[in-house]
Amino acid sequence: MKMDAARKAESATAARNRLLPEGRVAGPMPWVIAIMMFLTVLAAAGGLALNQGMRSLRSELSGRATVQIVEADAETRAQAVKKMVARLRVTPGIRSVQPVDSGKLADQLQPWLGGEMDTADLPIPALIDVEFAGEGPRPVETLAKLAKSIVPQARVEPHAAFLGPLSGLVATLAGVAALLVLLMAIATGAVVVLAARGAHESHKGTIDILHLMGATDVQIARLFQRRIALDAMLGGGLGLVTAVLVILLVGNRLSATGSDLLRAAYLPPWGWAVLVALPVGGILLATLAARMTVLRALGRAL
């Protein structure tokens, strides 16, 4: 009795693709790679979102400054504000000038000073928000000189100055995230190398037979790299999907906080593209590591 065509075809495919025994999902490789990829994507997403948040804040605040007029006498202070606002509004390079309402300031101070304190008795500096029209050279310094010439007691605080420490923190966290991604890539490579070595050892009998039949090292290595690429694809996909779900959940929670600072940390479209590219890179890395490892091991045999 001859094998029917379908069985032969199935058998041929099995022989070509599954020359090495064992089911793919049965081994630990896909799960290890899934965990690695999950952590890698989360670390990368954290780093990218923080970086993006910092950029958004910086671009939003870099064109703004606050002019403070420190004057104990309320009437003199009010006149100085009027004078300052009038001059700045006609100054080229300034888009808008908005004095901060003293009532608003008093509201903001209320938690510290208490509701019964009359803020009129306190020499609270007057604040004027200034928005620059463009990215001209050193606009803050120019404004500071101008403000001093109008009201000598005036001080200019660029909003971006508040970002200094935060920017340092975000840069550090982004660096840590990048380091984590790099370490994960190295760890993934090491896991693949160990797995490929193990697979090579456990299939030595089959490899010897293939060698003696005239199989080249590249033909044999291709079997391993295909197998590990499939494992990496499975693990990478699983890790990515899980990480994306977690990112979406965390993003949702951040939005719910209502904090502008936290909401600024979001993933732009190119950031998502980077996250999707990570498993692809992981698959390429795993395939390459498997190929190199097996070729090196085969090279030691005759």
Partner 1 sequence: MGTIVQFENVGLRYGMSAETLADVSFSLDGGGFYFLTGASGAGKTSLLKLLYLAQRPSRGVIRLFGEDVVTLPRKRLPGFRRRIGVVFQDFRLVPHLSAYDNIALPLRVSGMEESEIDAPVSEMLAWVGLADRAGARPATLSGGEQQRVAIARAVIGRPEILIADEPTGNVDADMAHRLLTLFEALNKLGTTLVVATHDLPLIGKIPGAQMMRLDKGRLADPTGSLRYPPKRPDAP
Where along the sequence are the contacts to partner 1 (CB under 8 A)? Answer: 1-3, 7-8, 11-12, 14-16, 19, 21, 205-206, 208-217, 219, 299, 302
Which residue lies nearer to partner 1 by CB, 1 or 120?
A: 1
Structure tokens at 243: 């990480």
Query: Quick one: 90 or 302, whose CB is closer to partner 1?
Result: 302
CA distance 133 to 88: 12
d(CA 134, CA 174): 29
Is 37 or 230 the residue whose CB approaches partner 1 more closely? 230
Cα(51)–Cα(74) distance, rounded to whole angstroms?
43
Helices (H), the chain: 5-17, 29-61, 74-89, 102-113, 139-150, 163-202, 204-212, 217-257, 260-263, 269-299
For 71, residues 6+ apart whose C-beta sits below 8 A from its C-beta are 77, 80, 123, 125, 126, 153
Minimum CB distance to partner 1, residue 273 (Å):
38
**Residue (165 or 299) nearer to partner 1, CB:** 299
Q: Which is nearer to partner 1, 1 or 26 (CB)?
A: 1
Minimum separation from the CB atom of position 41 to partner 1 (A)? 36
Query: Least CB distance from residue 223 to partner 1, whole Å?
Result: 11
CB of 228 to partner 1, least distance (A): 19
* For partner 1, the closer CB: 15 or 120: 15
Q: Which ranges in 213-268 belong to alpha helices (H)?
A: 217-257, 260-263
Task: Determine the longest span between alpha carbons in the chain, in angstroms.
Answer: 111
Question: Please, what is the minimum distance in Å from the beta carbon of residue 6 to partner 1?
Answer: 12
Q: Could you tell me the smallest distance in angstroms from the CB atom of residue 294 to partner 1?
A: 15
Residue 277, Cβ density class (10 Å: 0-12 exposed, 13-18 middle, ≥19 buried): exposed
